[in-house]
Amino acid sequence: MNLYLPYSNISYGDGESVEVDGRLGQKLVTKLKAQSLYTFLLTSKADGTGGLQHRADAMTAPNLLTRKPQLLDKTSSQSIATLQLPTVQGQANVRGFYIVVVPLKRQRGGNYQNSWSDPDEMNIDELLREINGTGRSVRLRRQAEAKAYISAHFQNLVI
């Protein structure tokens, strides 16, 4: 991406597009279909011509989990939850499975607000950078900030 162009546009799929601030250097594109080929076209808005800057083809990963994990048991006194993970469908090249904890924010009236309606809205690179830090200070920061974090990583899901 040309970082000197303040605003660009990424076109993809069937007429979908998203505006990009070129100074950020990255843009999260959500709502992509599983196991689909996409062509991303980055065009510049700076000169008014909308000229093509970059083209990239990408294949999205297959949907390996056909259902969400089931909550089997929880104890609020110890903050422990027991989950049953779904069986993996297909034979894709999988590098691992992550359990991400998303703290809910309490609103007025006792209801909870979930910051992400879709897991694809999370920035996995940011979460992966956080797991490199360990120890008491990281745990305290996680509790104070109430941000999503990776709590477990599995190479395989055992049945």
DSSP labels for 5-23?
A: SSEEEEEETTTEEEEEETT
Enter the pTM of the model.
0.58
At 2 the pLDDT is 47
Euclidean distance between the first and final Cα of the chain, in Å?
43
Joined tokens for residue 58: 């990408």
d(CA 94, CA 80): 27
Write down the residue that tokens 């924010």 correspond to. Answer: 105
- CA–CA distance from 76 to each of 27, 34, 82, 109, 146 (Å)? 38, 36, 12, 21, 17
Is residue 154 over pLDDT 80? Answer: yes
Cα 111 to the center of its chain, rounded Å: 24
User: Domain locations in the chain?
Assistant: 7-59, 70-154
At 106 the pLDDT is 75
Contact 48, 22 (CB under 8 A): no
d(CA 21, CA 19): 7
d(CA 56, CA 36): 14
Per residue in 47-103, pLDDT tens? Answer: 556 677 788 899 888 888 888 888 898 887 777 888 888 877 776 777 788 888 877
Joined tokens for residue 84: 């049953």
